[in-house]
């Protein structure tokens, strides 16, 4: 009998308690052998498949598991190896794979950037015009056979599609796009035919670029590509998967010669549903309906979603033509709510992580197959749990709601122009040309992490822990002074995470114990849950900043995370608008900025590294988002005195399309990464004449290598071709918490020396 099937697009890699991360880092540190490492990750990989099978998922993916990043996996599969790592091997060693991602003593890592508008970072494939792709090893076939032979699962292999892979790559001229694609397509066909011969029924081809605005030429490329794939692999069912938004060219996409099309009915619900209603859906294709939120952590409204699915069922022509799935890979959410025993029951009952989302998909499929009555109990429980949270005091803070209502529509403004502030601040701080600073954090050594654990477990008193943090702060203030850095930071030794730390001190946030998600490589973050009205309770950073400032005559920056980044790096309530949550956080941070200024901290850095990543994928939505982001930042910072210098920091993003919004933040100094992208960001400032203070990071902190003085000088000198030396700062790309002291100190010494040499070379061209 024909049935609706449940399908998963991708499962979290990291394990319920980050077992994957721990295995990776032990291997990198040489604490376990390669064989032991590979055995451990295989055990984890199989356990994930077993769990999905036990939940009842019909179509379980393989190829979603990665040792670092799925885009890197796809690039390596096709031999797309940067020249500096290419030793001519047909099979790429594991060591080379990790070197591309992390760098080595001999070569810089490949660039890393955000995966569409998420907080996941992928490794950008590097391709030259002369690149000749080849299959290094059919890893999808190995993973398919592993699931089939060891668990009896006929899995659904998942791969990044050829158009998306090339669109996200760099290094080749645009007129080589089609020739490169023509070289890749036969390789995809070979991979798919080997999968078909092994017994695969479906293969999921991820083409998320389809949710971006496409030109007629782009659509022609998709037609030609999928015609070739279809002709080259008869008998294997191709599922063309999109996510993160609606598809604009719906009428053209549904004509592509594939067996199924995956659409996002969470983040692209209105537009995708509207297209379906206008143009219908082909009767010879399966609709993979992404109706479970793959990026947030709230329970699905089962009643509403069941109604949506019944509507979709009317368009597709039969139950066998509908798959129920998350809206995207579950890579972006934690593994399971089950382990969160300490959460408020009202909150916990409203949550759904990866395992629970898959269970929701299975439940909805059951309801469509057996009738709504078969899942009435689940629907009612879902409704009660969400209603209990909505009616709780957490979401009904009258004071916060009153503050929101009294906000004006005009952008908040600083009391003086940048030109006036620049002169006042120059007189106040007396900094040299090309002042040096760092982004904020210093190494979170094993001792620092152990001290935090000791406090959490009650093995240390608050007093002992505070003294430890003071000692670390004093040590690193002295190190910075000895190195010769001009503007210091306190090091953030008291902070577990740049968002979590603030959330723990604000009302409206909750914290989990095991709800980790992957950010990049083995770097995992545990996003706070913004589940209620956000409110400031008491100073959060003043004690540490004031103590650090008391130890030195040099300026010490106060360090805060900005409202947009706190939003974008949290799991956020979905019952009020994004702008309202931005502004609730901004109002709380405004009180903290005021407290720092009252404590005579005259440089305050309000970091917004995630501002770009939240940019909507649709052109028509971008202006509204940027306006709301700028408003919130200025709400938090614009009231300060002219002699208080406001800094911000952003990292690992393409800034061209938001440079005007960056300028509109009206900060006194912004620091932006430059080294990881090999200085490419500098070209943005050739087109846009930025007139405020700016620091372009001169070394990549995500690699363990120590860059030379000459290397850092080259980035600074390149930047000074387009930037005013009187406005230019020198700093690392990002915070240094993930680096070791023995990597950090020599690198900072080289940075200061690079700044000194560039100052000397500038000579009399500029005044002090």
Return the biggest CA–CA distance within the chain.
84
492 is in an annotated binding site: yes
Question: Is 270 assigned to a binding site?
Answer: no
3-class SS at 509?
A: strand
Quick one: which of 241, 347, 359, 245 has its CA closest to 300? 359
Establish whether 759 is an annotated binding residue. no
Q: Measure the CA–CA gap between 20 and 344, rounded to whole angstroms.
A: 28
Sequence-distant (≥ 6) Cβ neighbours of residue 90 within 8 angstroms = 134, 136
The answer on whether 734 is annotated among ligand-binding residues is: yes
3-state secondary structure 542-564: HHHHHHHHHCCCCCEEEEEECHH
Q: What are the start-end ranges of the H helices in 324-396?
A: 345-348, 354-370, 376-390
Contact (CB, 8 A) for 447 and 713: no
Is 607 annotated to bind a ligand? Reply is yes
In order of 42, 301, 354, 357, the CA distances from 293 in angstroms are: 28, 10, 10, 8
Q: CA 411, CA 638: separation in Å to the nearest integer?
A: 9
Is 598 assigned a ligand-binding role in the annotation?
A: no
CB 592 within 8 A of CB 523: no
Tell me: is residue 761 an annotated ligand-binding position: no
- Do 386 and 305 form a contact (C-beta atoms < 8 A)? no
The 3-state DSSP class for residue 510 equals: strand
Tokens at residue 118, please? 């998420």
- Residue 202 marked ligand-binding: no
Tokens of 69: 């990043």
602 has binding-site annotation: no
Nearest CA-CA partner of 752 in 472, 477, 480, 554: 480
Tokens matching residue 199: 């017994």
Buried b (16+ CB within 10 A) or exposed e, 256-274: bebbbbbbbbbbbbebbbe
The response to whether 88 counts as a known ligand-binding position is: no
Do 508 and 532 form a contact (C-beta atoms < 8 A)?
yes
258 contacts 285 by C-beta, under 8 angstroms: yes
Query: Which H or E run includes 584?
Result: helix 578-598
User: Which of helix, strand or coil describes residue 111?
Assistant: coil
469 within 8 A of 544, measured Cβ to Cβ = yes
Cβ neighbours of 358 (radius 10 Å): 26
Annotated binding residue 340: no
Residues contacting residue 565 through CB under 8 Å, at least 6 positions apart: 498, 499, 607, 608, 609, 610, 611
Say if residue 523 carries a ligand binding annotation: yes
Tokens representing residue 171 in the block:
């290094």
Residue pair 480/441 in contact by the 8 Å Cβ criterion: no
Q: Of the candidates 146, 153, 143, 195, which has an alpha carbon nearest to the alpha carbon of residue 56?
A: 153
| H or E element that contains 533 | strand 529-536
Query: Using CB atoms within 10 A of its CB, is residue 215 exposed (0-12), middle (13-18) or buried (19+)?
Result: exposed
Is 649 known to sit in a ligand binding site? yes
Ligand-binding site membership of 695 (annotated): no
**Eight-class DSSP state of 764:** G
Would the annotation count 750 as a binding residue?
no
86 is in an annotated binding site: no
Question: Is 87 annotated as a binding-site member?
Answer: no
Query: Is 439 known as a binding-site position?
Result: yes
Q: Tell me, what DSSP letter sits at residue 720?
A: H
Q: What residues are annotated to the active site? A: 702
User: What are the tokens at 7?
Assistant: 């399908």
524 is in an annotated binding site: yes
In terms of residues, how long is the chain?
768
Strands 506-510 and 529-536: antiparallel
- List Cβ neighbours of 397 (8 Å cut-off, separation of 6 or more): 507, 508, 532, 533, 535
Output the known binding site for Zn(2+): 649, 651, 673, 734
Output the known binding site for L-methionine: 439-441, 492, 607
Output the known binding site for L-homocysteine: 439-441, 492, 607
Output the known binding site: 18-21, 114, 119, 439-441, 492, 523-524, 569, 607, 613, 649, 651, 673, 734
Output the known binding site for 5-methyltetrahydropteroyltri-L-glutamate: 18-21, 114, 119, 523-524, 569, 613
């Amino acid at each position: 009998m024909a049935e609706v099937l449940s399908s998963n697009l991708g499962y979290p890699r990291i394990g319920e308690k980050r077992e994957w991360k721990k295995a990776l880092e032990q291997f990198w540190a040489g604490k376990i052998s390669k064989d032991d490492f590979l055995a451990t990750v295989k055990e984890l990989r199989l356990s994930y498949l077993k769990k999905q099978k036990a939940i009842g998922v019909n179509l379980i993916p393989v190829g979603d598991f990665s040792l670092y990043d799925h885009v890197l996996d796809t690039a390596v599969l096709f031999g797309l190896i940067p020249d500096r790592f290419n030793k001519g091997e047909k099979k790429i060693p594991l060591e080379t794979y990790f070197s591309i991602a992390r760098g080595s003593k001999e070569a810089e890592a490949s660039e890393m950037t955000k995966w569409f508008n998420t907080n996941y970072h992928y490794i950008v494939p590097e391709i030259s015009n002369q690149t000749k792709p080849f299959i290094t090893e059919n890893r999808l076939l190995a993973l398919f056979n592993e699931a089939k032979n060891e668990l009896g699962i006929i899995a659904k292999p998942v791969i990044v599609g050829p158009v998306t892979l090339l669109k996200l790559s760099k290094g080749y001229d645009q007129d080589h796009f089609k020739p490169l694609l023509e070289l890749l397509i036969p390789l995809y066909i070979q991979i798919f035919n080997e999968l078909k011969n092994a017994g695969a029924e479906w293969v999921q081809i991820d083409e998320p670029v389809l949710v971006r605005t496409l030109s007629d030429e782009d659509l022609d490329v998709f037609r030609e590509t999928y015609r070739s794939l279809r002709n080259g692999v008869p008998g294997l069912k191709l599922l063309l998967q999109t996510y993160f938004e609606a598809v604009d060219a719906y009428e053209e996409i549904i004509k592509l010669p594939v067996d199924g099309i995956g659409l996002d009915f969470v983040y692209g619900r209105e537009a995708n549903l509207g297209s379906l209603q206008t143009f219908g859906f082909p009767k010879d294709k399966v609709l993979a309906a992404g109706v479970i939120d793959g990026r947030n952590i709230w329970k699905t409204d089962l009643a509403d979603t069941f109604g949506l699915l019944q509507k979709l069922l009317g368009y597709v022509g039969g139950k066998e033509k509908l798959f129920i799935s998350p809206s995207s890979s579950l890579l972006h959410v934690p593994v399971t709510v089950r382990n969160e025993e300490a959460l408020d029951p009202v909150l916990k009952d409203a949550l759904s992580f990866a395992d629970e989302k898959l269970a929701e998909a299975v439940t909805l499929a059951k309801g469509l197959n057996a009738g709504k009555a078969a899942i009435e109990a689940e629907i009612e429980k879902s409704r009660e749990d969400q209603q209990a949270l909505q009616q709780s005091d957490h979401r009904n803070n009258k004071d916060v709601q009153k503050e929101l209502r009294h906000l004006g529509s005009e952008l908040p403004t600083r009391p003086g122009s940048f030109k006036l502030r620049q002169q006042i601040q120059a007189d106040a701080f007396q900094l040299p040309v090309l002042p040096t600073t760092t982004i904020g954090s210093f190494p979170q050594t094993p001792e620092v992490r152990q001290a935090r654990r000791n406090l959490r477990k009650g093995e240390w008193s608050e007093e002992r822990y505070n003294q430890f943090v003071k000692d670390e702060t004093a040590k690193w203030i002295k190190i910075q002074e000895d190195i010769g850095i001009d503007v210091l930071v306190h090091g953030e030794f008291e902070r577990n995470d740049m968002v979590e730390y603030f959330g723990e001190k604000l009302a409206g946030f909750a914290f989990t114990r095991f709800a980790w998600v992957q950010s990049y490589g083995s770097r995992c973050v545990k996003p706070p849950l913004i589940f209620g009205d956000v409110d400031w309770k008491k100073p959060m950073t003043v004690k540490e900043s004031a103590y650090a400032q008391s130890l030195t005559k040099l300026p010490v920056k106060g360090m805060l995370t900005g409202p947009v980044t706190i939003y974008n790096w949290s799991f956020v309530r979905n019952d009020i608008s994004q702008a309202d949550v931005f502004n609730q956080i901004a109002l709380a941070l405004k009180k903290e900025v005021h407290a720092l200024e009252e404590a005579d901290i005259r440089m305050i850095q309000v970091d917004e590294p995630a501002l770009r990543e939240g940019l909507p994928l649709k052109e028509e939505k971008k202006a509204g988002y940027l306006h709301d982001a700028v408003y919130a930042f200025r709400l938090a910072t614009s009231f300060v005195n002219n002699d208080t210098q406001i800094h911000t920091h952003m990292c690992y993003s393409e800034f061209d399309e938001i440079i005007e919004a960056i300028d509109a933040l009206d900060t006194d100094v912004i620091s932006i990464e430059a080294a990881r992208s090999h200085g490419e960001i500098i070209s943005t400032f050739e087109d846009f004449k930025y007139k405020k203070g700016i620091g372009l990071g001169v070394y990549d902190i995500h690699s363990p290598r120590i860059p030379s003085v000459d290397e850092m000088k080259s980035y600074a000198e390149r930047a000074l071709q387009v930037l005013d030396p009187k406005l230019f700062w020198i700093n690392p790309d990002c915070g240094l918490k993930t680096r070791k002291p023995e990597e950090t100190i020599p690198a900072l010494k080289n940075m200061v020396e690079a700044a000194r040499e560039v100052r000397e070379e500038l000579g009399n061209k500029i005044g002090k």
